[in-house]
Amino acid sequence: MSSDRLYPGNQRRRRGEEAKERRRKRSGSDCQAAEEEMEQSVIHLSHCQKEIFCFTVPEVCPSCGEELKGRRLHEAPVSLPSPFTDGHKTSCCLLVAPAHNNQDRDFTGTSDLHTGISNTKGVVYNYTQDGVRRDQSGWSHCVSVPLVRPDMFHLLAQWDQYLETFSEGPAWDPVWQKFHEEDHNCFSFCLQFLNGVLAMEGRGTLSRDDFTRCFILPRMRRVSKYTTLIRHLQEHQYYLADRQETLGYGQEESVATS
């Protein structure tokens, strides 16, 4: 006789755990599908004084109806660079990703986000209620802010040691200091580490507001425009804008230690 028949509670508990696991897998596959949709390549071309955005170059201009195939365009079609990156392929960057409780894995202004810092090998250090995690996976769809110039060899050589030593400090040990959503959180961890590096380099430190305004918000605005464009193209196939309009895909500033 099985133990489930003797203890019906075991069977109910196991069924509940199995249902939870199915929901987790389904949520994970939905998140992956959403991320793949966001990674579709967007093509930009110009014709008849219009900026045209699409997933594939059309045979005829969606604005004037002129045939495009075989004709010379004013400018060659180009792919828009995605604002997203694989955090594990970055080095010495601040990373912004959807938080674990962000079921839609999006970057909207009302969504919970999580931040971390990558070492030179793409391991992401991030502060949570359980202390500092060192993630080798889970940050494949995020926004990155470069913190170190490629030619700063002295800092690159010590970055991993700085990050590890900082992460082992008592401020990030839950036994000594608890995680607080408002003033001792993942962003506090990242900003304090960055300011420590800036101080060692003889640079002025950054306030939370200054760092957010100068380095986070411009990238999040670009993400918002890009995701809005993607969703428009998925529904309408094309997006047309007058030549003088821009979508704000210029090069962004890096922080650090420049």
Collect contacts of 205-213 with beta carbons under 8 A, ≥24 apart.
Answer: 206/255, 211/255
Element of type H or E holding 241? strand 238-242
Query: Under a CB-based contact definition with an 8 Å cutoff, are residues 178 and 184 in contact?
Result: yes
How far apart CA 104 and CA 86 sit, in angstroms, is 18
Q: Which residue has the higher pLDDT, 117 or 60?
A: 117
Measured from the Cβ of residue 202, the count of other Cβ atoms closer than 10 Å reads 6
Tell me which residue of 45, 49, 50, 36 sits closest to 69, measured CA to CA.
45
The per-residue pLDDT for range 147-185, each reduced to its tens digit, is 999 999 999 999 999 999 999 999 999 999 999 999 999
The per-residue pLDDT for range 186-211, each reduced to its tens digit, is 999 999 999 999 999 999 999 999 99
Burial category of 118 from C-beta neighbours within 10 Å (exposed 0-12, middle 13-18, buried 19 and up): buried
Give the residue-averaged pLDDT of 99-122: 79
